[in-house]
Structure 1
Amino acid sequence: MTWKRTMVETSRGTFEVFEKGQGSPLAVTHLYSEFNETGDYFAEAFVETHKVYLINLKECGRSEKVSSPHELTMLESVLDLEAIRIELGYECWNFAGHSTGGMLAVVYGIYISESLDTLVIANAAAREYMTFSKDCIYNESHPKFDRMQSLIEQLKKQDLSDEERKELTVERTKLSLWNPQNYDHYFHTSIEKKMSAVRMNFFARELHTFDVTRKLALITAKTIVISGSYDVQCPPTYSEEIAEGISGAVLHRFLQSNHYPHLEEGQKFKQVIKAHFD
């Protein structure tokens, strides 16, 4: 079943949104992914229990273009999400974010917790996570740093064929799996998405000054923090830091996962999420 596409006109521009599932509303997005009707693996983990809104931020898909670079910041993106929530008619909703989507979830919770029933923060960080962590694949000391950087730069190219893009994406993803030989088992459906080079390049700059750890206590929404024990992108110490900083937050570490516990331990992930929302 494909996702239903709609365009949501708000006070801050028009956004491409995909809907699927039934239940209480839950929004999902990522800082630089471009979604389409095929959906998203992380978002799929919630459709059995929620009406999920998968959102293309500005410069992604058919959503609004920016007129000024500051519109690409995490805080401005949160304000865009709020405008979408209001236009959809919800007093409150849930928000789930994985990786940079999880970083956005942190910022959302800090500044507008009153609009959130529940936060799901998966494989994320509340501050820049590369410089001081040699376990991070984005740290120059990591043995696979150069290859990861090369793959990212190649994926930014707009003239790649579908086959070239797929090959590069597969290789990049395998670098963040505990058992890369299981790739075909995890990614077995026809979900396809692209990367917004504009947003990716902006995030790469914004990340260097990103640190909201001292504001974590401002998050009042019910929060679950998820990490993979072998995460090479956002090492688990950063998830622990988030959970420690949020009053009442629950931390769940997946012991046989790298950066994708919603796939690497998919059934367990769904059980943990369901228990959290019950």
Structure 2
Amino acid sequence: MLWKRQVVETTRGSFELFFKGDGEPICITHLYSTFNETGDYFADTFTGSNSVYLINLRETGSSVRAEQFYQLSMLETVMDLEAIRRALGFKAWYFAGHSTGGMLGLVYGIYFPDSLTGLVIVGAAARDYTISPFCIYHPDHPDFQRMQQLIEMLKKADLKENQRKALTRERTKLSLYSPETYEQNFDKPIKKKLSKVRIEFFNRELAIYDVRSKLPYCHSNLLILCGKYDVQCPLEFSKEINELVPNSRFITYDKSNHYPFLEEKQSFSRDIHHFLEGEAAH
């Protein structure tokens, strides 16, 4: 079943989103992915229990363009999400983010905690994660050079579909606990693209990104999840978030890398639903 497309007019411009599911509303996005009607693996985790709003951020899909580069920053992006929430008529909603989507979620939780029913952060960090030698984006990591090559090739606008698919497969396998399980984990006809302009802006912002001092003010109900062998945002960064956010909950997946929602799907879904059901009960 395809996701339903919707364009929302807000005070900050028009934004494209895709909707699926029933229940309490939850916002899901990623800093530089472009979504479409085929949806998203991470977002699919929530469609059985929530009304999921998968957002194309500024400069992605059919959403409004950026008139100034600063509009691509995390804080400006969170303000866009707030405008979307208000336009949809929600007093509050959940936010769930994986990887850079999780980093965006932390900024959301810091500056607009009253707008969030709850916050789910998966495989993320509160500061520049590339400083860790366990991170695949650190020059000392054995797969660093190949990952950089793959990222640059995927930015090319003239890539044929079969080329993009092969490059994406190889890139993703580098972040799996068991690379041989790629086909069984990524078995849906989901197609996404990366926004070159948003990636380039994020790479600059990452150099100064550090919200650790503000995390004690993140009063949202926070669930932190991470694969034990995450090579993109290593486990140490999730532990750090848990230590700095009062009353946050933290779960580690011992047979996962960067995709615990696929690599340990059953356990991950159970933990997510327990969290969501618990918050709904409150």
Q: Does 1:161 align with 2:152?
A: no
Partner of residue 86, structure 2? 86
Question: Match for residue 185 of structure 1?
Answer: 184
Cα displacement (A) at 1:204: 0.5
Counterpart of 2:31 in structure 1 is 31
Matches of 2:97 and 2:64, distance apart in 1: 21
Task: Give 1:88 shift.
Answer: 0.1
Distance 2:256 2:117 in 1: 27
1:105 aligns with 2:102: no
Q: Provide runs of 4+ in structure 1 moved above 3 Å.
A: none
Once the 2 structures are TM-superposed, how far is the Cα of residue 277 of structure 1 from its aligned partner?
Answer: 1.3
Aligned to 1:262: 261
| Other structure's SS at 1:104 match | helix
Deviation digits for residues 240-269 of structure 1 (CA, Å, limit 9, x no counterpart): 011111111000001100000000001111
One-letter amino acid matched to 2:177: W
Encode CA deviations 1:67-105: one digit per residue, 9 max, x unaligned: 000000000000000000000000000000000000000
Percent identity over the alignment? 53
Query: Are 2:166 and 1:170 aligned?
Result: no
Structure 1 distance, partners of 2:35, 2:121, is: 19
Q: 1:49 Cα deviation (Å)?
A: 0.4
Whole-Å separation in 2 of the counterparts to 1:251 and 1:146: 32
Q: Distance in 1 between matches of 2:274 and 2:244?
A: 22
**SS in structure 2 at match of 1:221:** coil
Superposition deviation, residue 18 in structure 1: 0.2
Distance 2:109 2:243 in 1: 15
Q: Distance in 2 between matches of 1:175 and 1:206?
A: 24
Structure 2 letter corresponding to 1:264: E
Q: Deviations over 1:176-207 (max 9, x none)?
A: 00000000000001011000000001001100
Report the counterpart of residue 56 of structure 1 in structure 2: 56
Partner SS state of residue 209, structure 1: coil
CA–CA separation in structure 2 for the residues paired with 1:129 and 1:22: 35
Cα deviation, 1:21-61, whole Å, max 9, x if unaligned, reads 00000000000000000000000000000000000000101
Aligned pairs for 1:1-278 within 5 A: 1-131=1-131, 133-278=132-277
Q: Distance in 2 between matches of 1:145 and 1:158?
A: 23
Unaligned runs of 5+ residues in structure 1 are none
* Residue 221 of structure 1, CA deviation: 1.0
Take 1:250 and 1:274, find their aligned partners in 2: how far apart are those partners? 14
- Distance (whole Å) between structure 2 residues aligned to residue 137 and residue 254 of structure 1: 19
**Structure 2 unmatched runs, 5+:** 278-282
Hey, what's the Cα distance between the residues in 2 that align with 1:48 and 1:154? 35
Tell me, in whole angstroms, the C-alpha distance in 2 between the residues paired with 1:116 and 1:39. 23
Residues 140-164 of structure 1 show CA distances to partners (whole Å, capped at 9, x for unaligned) of: 0001000000000000000000000
Question: How far, CA to CA, are the matches of 2:204 and 2:108 in structure 1?
Answer: 20
Query: Over residues 109-147 of structure 1, what are the superposed CA-to-partner deviations in whole Å (9 max), with x where a residue is unaligned?
Result: 00000000100000000000112x110000000010000
Q: Deviations over 1:207-248 (max 9, x none)?
A: 000000010011111110000000000000000011111111
Output the CA distance in 1 between the equivalents of 2:219 and 2:65.
Answer: 32
Aligned residue identity for 1:145: F
**Counterpart amino acid of residue 25 in structure 2:** P
Q: Which amino acid aligns with 2:15?
A: F
Amino acid at match of 2:237: Y
**C-alpha separation in 2, matches of 1:2 and 1:245:** 39
C-alpha distance in 2 between matches for 1:263 and 1:277: 19
d(CA) in 2 for partners of 1:189 and 1:43? Answer: 13
Secondary structure in structure 2 of the residue aligned to 1:97: strand
Aligned mates of 2:197, 2:276 — CA distance in 1 = 35
Q: 2: CA distance between counterparts of 1:156 and 1:201? A: 10
Q: In structure 1, the residue corresponding to 2:224 is in which secondary structure?
A: strand
Q: How many residues align?
A: 277
Using the alignment, how far apart are the partners of 2:41 and 2:229 within structure 1?
19
SS of match in other structure, 2:172: helix
Letter in 1 for 2:176: L
The residue identity in structure 2 corresponding to 1:238 is: F
